[in-house]
Amino acid sequence: MHAPLLQLQHINAHYGPIHVLKDLSLEVGAGEIVCLLGGNACGKSTTLKTILGLVTPSSGTIVFAGEPITGWSSSERIRRGIAVVPENRRLFGPLTVHENLLMGAYLRHDRRAIDEDLARIYARFPRLSERAGQPAQTLSGGEQQMLAVGRALMSRPKLLLLDEPSMGLAPQLVEQSFALLQMLSRQGVAVLVVEQNARVALQIAQRGYVLQTGRVVLEGAAAGLVANDQLRRAYLSRGSVIRFSPLGHGRAWRGHGRQSGERR
Amino acid sequence: MGDSLSHLPQQLANGLTLGAVYALIALGYSLVYGVLRLLNFAHGEVYMVGAFIGYGVLSLLDPALAAGLPGWLGLTAMLLAAMLGCGLLGALIERLVYRPLRHTHRLAPLLGALGIAFVLQHGVLLLASARHRAIHAELILPAALGFELGSVRLSAARLLVIGIALLLLAALSLLVYRTRMGRALRAIGADPEAAAMLGVPVERVVSQTFVLGSALAGAAGVLVGLVFTKVWHLMGVAAGLKGFTAAVLGGIGSLPGALLGGLLLGIAESVSTGVISPTYSDLIVFGVLIVALLVRPSGLFGKRAQPKV
Ligand SMILES: Nc1ncnc2c1ncn2[C@@H]1O[C@H](COP(=O)(O)OP(=O)(O)OP(=O)(O)O)[C@@H](O)[C@H]1O
Ligand SMILES: [Mg+2]
In tens, the pLDDT along A183-219 reads 999 999 999 999 988 888 999 999 999 999 999 999 9
Q: How far is A122 from chain B (nearest CA, A)?
A: 20
Give the one of A74, A95, A263 whose C-beta lies nearest to B187's C-beta: A95
Measure A51 CA to ligand 2 centroid, in angstroms: 14
Which residue from B minimizes the CA distance to A87? Answer: B194
Which residue from B minimizes the CA distance to A83? Answer: B198
Core vs surface per residue A109-136: b (16+ CB within 10 A) or e = eeeeebeebbeebbeebeebeebeeebb
Test mutation, B198, B304, B308, chain A, max A CBs within 10 A: B198
- The complex scores an ipTM of 0.88
Q: How far is residue B171 CA from its own chain's centroid?
A: 15
pLDDT-derived band at B143 (thresholds 50, 70, 90) equals: confident
The verdict on residue B21 lying in a domain is: yes
Q: How far is A103 from chain B (nearest CA, A)?
A: 7
Q: What domain range is B45 assigned to? A: 2-237
Q: Do A78 and B198 touch (CB under 8 A)?
A: yes
pLDDT for residue B223 is more than 70:
yes
Q: Return the ∠ at Cα B36 (arms to B32 and B41), rounded to 5°.
A: 50
Q: How far is B293 from chain A (nearest CA, A)?
A: 23
Pick the residue whose CA is nearest to atom 20 on ligand 1: A41
Contact B22, B176 (CB under 8 A): no
- How much is the average pLDDT of A10-16? 96
Task: Please state which of the ranges A142-151, A203-212, A222-231, B65-74 shows the lowest mean pLDDT.
Answer: A222-231
The verdict on residue B308 lying in a domain is: no
pLDDT for residue B25 is more than 90:
yes
The verdict on residue B261 lying in a domain is: no
pLDDT for residue A241 is more than 60:
no
Residue A216 belongs to what H/E stretch? Answer: strand A215-221
Whole-number pLDDT of residue B283 = 87
pLDDT-derived band at A261 (thresholds 50, 70, 90) equals: very low
The verdict on residue B83 lying in a domain is: yes
- Residue-wise pLDDT tens digits, A115-174: 999 999 999 999 999 999 999 999 999 999 999 999 999 999 999 999 999 988 888 899
Q: Do B309 and A54 touch (CB under 8 A)?
A: no
The rounded mean pLDDT for chain B is 90
Domain count, chain B: 1
Q: Do B194 and A94 touch (CB under 8 A)?
A: no
Q: What share of chain B is helix, strand, coil (3-state, %, to 5)?
A: 75, 5, 20
The CA distance from B31 to B14, in Å, is 26
Q: Do B198 and A94 touch (CB under 8 A)?
A: no
pLDDT for residue A224 is more than 60:
yes
Contact A214, A26 (CB under 8 A): no
Measure B192 CA to ligand 1 centroid, in angstroms: 18
Q: What percentage of chain A carries pLDDT values higher than 70?
A: 86
Whole-number pLDDT of residue A180 = 93
CB atoms < 10 A from the CB of A80, how many? 15
Measure A21 CA to ligand 1 centroid, in angstroms: 10
Residue A117 belongs to what H/E stretch? Answer: helix A111-124
Contact B49, B117 (CB under 8 A): no
Pick the residue whose CA is nearest to atom 7 on ligand 1: A15
The verdict on residue B270 lying in a domain is: no
A15 lines ligand 1 (CB under 6 A): yes
A50 lines ligand 1 (CB under 6 A): no
- What is the reported pTM? 0.88
What angle in degrees, to the nearest 10, is found between the helix axes of B43-66 and B8-36? 120
Measure A61 CA to ligand 1 centroid, in angstroms: 21
pLDDT-derived band at A109 (thresholds 50, 70, 90) equals: very high
Whole-number pLDDT of residue B250 = 92
CB atoms < 10 A from the CB of A107, how many? 16
Of the candidates A237, A228, A163, the one whose C-alpha atom is nearest the C-alpha of residue A199 is: A228
The verdict on residue B233 lying in a domain is: yes
Residues of chain A found within 8 Å of residue B199, distances taken between Cβ atoms: 74-75, 78-79, 106-107, 155
- How much is the average pLDDT of A11-34? 96
Residues of chain B found within 8 Å of residue A90, distances taken between Cβ atoms: 191, 193-194, 197
Measure A263 CA to ligand 2 centroid, in angstroms: 15
Whole-number pLDDT of residue A242 = 45
A38 lines ligand 1 (CB under 6 A): yes
